[in-house]
């Protein structure tokens, strides 16, 4: 697979697994990227160029998500079902060293997949990076009510910095983004941390946050330490919930640094 192809989102997680079944360069670390609520695999466009040839960027395209998606082939309506389906479809691609990056909701999905890898006795990630999400054992952010009007949903997006360009550049897409965000928030609301059976991740765990993120206080980011038995770090970067877009040079420099320390 070419360097460019590694950054091309695919239609399903199963396609993701198939597309990385053969690595084109020895020693490259596969980075599976899990998008935020309301986002898509295209959220990671351009990451391959930013991270360089030592990293193979694999955006994960998740199955359809909504309260009514259980009747859709491959669709899911709960966080548990979402994680189970993504784990099942990605499993063939997780047989060589890999890392996870999840942003916001994606951190929760990535963590669930990593836990299922451990429970099944399969290879865990060589490095786990979570951005813009509190530790999974903590209650969800109180501001994220799921019964939001269109206006409130859009206001939430704008307040977090996730829709400003969308509104000004392509207002026709607002409807689809609002619907997708609402569906994802409803799925996230079904998450329940299973106190029994979860183990600390036996790999470096790095947490990235925005120093002005209203949803992730510093203490809630630091609480991820409970979920690591190896090297652990927390780094606050300038910005809000989408700090990865606000200060790209700083963000990618930090991501390159933590990925470079992974053993693979």
CATH number at residue 252: 3.40.50.1820
Distances (CA, A) of 43 to 46, 74, 170, 242: 9, 21, 16, 11
Q: Is 170 within a domain?
A: no
Structural domain span for residue 202: 5-143+192-260
- DSSP string for 77-104: SSHHHHHHHHHHHHGGG-SS-EEEEEET
Active site residue 104: yes
* pTM given for the model: 0.85
The Cβ-side half-sphere exposure at 237, using a 13 Å CA radius, reads 23
For residue 210, give the 3-state DSSP assignment. strand
Q: For residue 161, tell me if it sits in a domain.
A: no
Q: Among the options 36, 206, 227, 241, which is catalytic?
A: 241
Question: What is the domain count for the chain?
Answer: 1
Summarize pLDDT for 182-231 with one digit per residue, the tens.
888 889 989 999 878 789 999 999 999 999 998 899 999 999 999 999 89
Residue 156 belongs to a domain: no
Does 241 qualify as catalytic in the annotation?
yes
Residue of 104, 107, 206, 227 with catalytic role: 104
* Phi, psi for 209 (deg, rounded to 5): -135, 165
**36-87 pLDDT, tens digit each:** 988 889 889 999 999 999 999 999 999 988 766 556 666 789 999 999 999 9
């Amino acid at each position: 697979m070419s360097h460019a192809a590694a950054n091309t989102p695919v239609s399903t997680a199963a396609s993701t697994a198939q597309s990385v079944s053969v690595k084109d360069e020895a020693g490259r670390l596969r980075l599976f990227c899990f998008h935020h609520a309301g986002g898509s695999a295209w959220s990671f466009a351009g990451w391959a160029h930013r991270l360089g040839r030592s990293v193979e960027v694999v955006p994960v395209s998740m199955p359809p998500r909504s309260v009514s998606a259980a009747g859709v082939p491959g669709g899911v309506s709960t966080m548990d079902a979402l994680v189970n389906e993504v784990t099942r479809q990605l499993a063939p691609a997780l047989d060589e060293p890999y890392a996870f990056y999840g942003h916001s909701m994606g951190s929760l999905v990535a963590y669930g997949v990593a836990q299922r890898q451990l429970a099944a006795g399969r290879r865990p990630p060589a490095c786990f990076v979570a951005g813009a999400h509190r530790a999974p054992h903590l209650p969800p952010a109180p501001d994220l009510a799921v019964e939001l009007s269109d206006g409130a949903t859009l206001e939430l997006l704008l307040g977090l910095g996730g829709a400003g360009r969308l509104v000004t550049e392509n207002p026709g897409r607002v409807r689809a983004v609002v619907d997708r965000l609402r569906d994802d928030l409803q799925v996230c609301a079904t998450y329940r941390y299973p106190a029994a059976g979860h183990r600390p991740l036996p790999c470096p765990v790095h947490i990235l946050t925005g120093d002005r993120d209203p949803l992730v206080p510093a203490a809630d980011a630091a609480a991820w330490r409970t979920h690591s038995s190896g090297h652990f770090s927390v780094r606050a970067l300038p910005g809000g919930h989408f700090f990865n877009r606000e200060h790209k040079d700083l963000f990618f420099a930090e991501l390159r640094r933590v990925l470079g320390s992974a053993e693979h």
